[in-house]
Amino acid sequence: MNNKLIANLKLLRKKNHLNQSELATKLNVSRQAISNWETGRNTPDIDTIIKLAHLYHVPLDQLVSHKNHSAPIVGKPKKTILGTLLAVLVVERSTQNAPLAARTWMDYLLLVPIILYFVLLLIDKKIVNPKIGLTIYNFGLFLFGVAGIGSSFVNLFSMRFGLQITCFACGVMAIGYIAIPGIKHLIGKVKGATSLRV
């Protein structure tokens, strides 16, 4: 078996924060099959290799060749949500006629996605440990969500209706982005437990 494939299978699984059982569920194979691939006892078929490349968002040849693509550790969705939040806040901040205090509050909210984006860049450059960096990212995004939703409900600094809606929507997006994968994971575990009983 290709030593590069063996190393990449394990490395990419860990970079994507999956254990062998979770990956096995996603691929509809046994956990033992994953273990056999990662130890070199067996080789996944070409269809499975294609699924793995798609799952990990890497080129197919990166899984099997010795080319160094230096794939980023952090996936695009984490950066995309920050870009979306930043774009919405910038547009609303620049188009709404609100009191100075409310616009200053928006400036503070704008800083959060910018800072979190730099945290992700530091993770990709291997300056910050991914576990620590992603914990900071998730916590920061959660606080951003709470601040956005909370400030919209209390109409902080007499925001106009447009800014209230923007803060609320951005807060919901941030918290939803964090919560949805956890809910999907929980549903998967519940489904797995019920299928074992049947």
How far is residue 44 CA from its own chain's centroid?
Answer: 27
**pLDDT for position 115:** 95
- DSSP assignment of 138-173: HHHHHHHHHHHHHHHHTTGGG--HHHHHHHHHHHHH
**pLDDT for position 167:** 92
Judged by phi (left if over 0) then psi (alpha if -120 to 50, else beta), residue 48 lies in: alpha
**pLDDT for position 98:** 84
- Mean pLDDT by runs of 10 across the 198 residues of the chain is 78 88 91 90 88 84 63 74 93 88 90 94 86 91 94 85 91 91 73 59
Residue 191 one-letter amino acid? K
**pLDDT for position 119:** 93
